[in-house]
Amino acid sequence: MSDAQLGLLTATPIIIAFAGTLRAMGVLSTTATVSAVALSVAIAVVLFTTQ
């Protein structure tokens, strides 16, 4: 596993947790939270498989 893949595995859950925290604080709507999580997972999958 490369350093880039390890970084993706580390950063993606942090982004998801941050989006969840912002949703709980009322900063993000549910739609924005779902979009942020879905897009971050999709980007991580694409980058992980192409590394």
pLDDT tens by residue, 4-48? 899 999 999 999 999 999 999 999 999 999 999 999 999 999 999
Number of domains present in the structure of the chain: 1
pLDDT at 34: 97
Determine the structural domain holding residue 15 and report its residue range.
Answer: 3-50
**Model pTM score:** 0.85
pLDDT at 1 exceeding the cut of 90 = no
Sign of CA dihedral 29, 38, 9, 5: negative
pLDDT at 42: 96
* Rounded alpha-carbon distances, angstroms, from residue 12 to 5, 27, 36, 45: 11, 20, 11, 10
CA-based R_g, the chain, Å: 12
pLDDT at 33: 96
pLDDT at 51 exceeding the cut of 80 = no
Rounded Cα gap, residues 5 and 47, in angstroms:
8
Rounded Cα gap, residues 13 and 36, in angstroms:
12
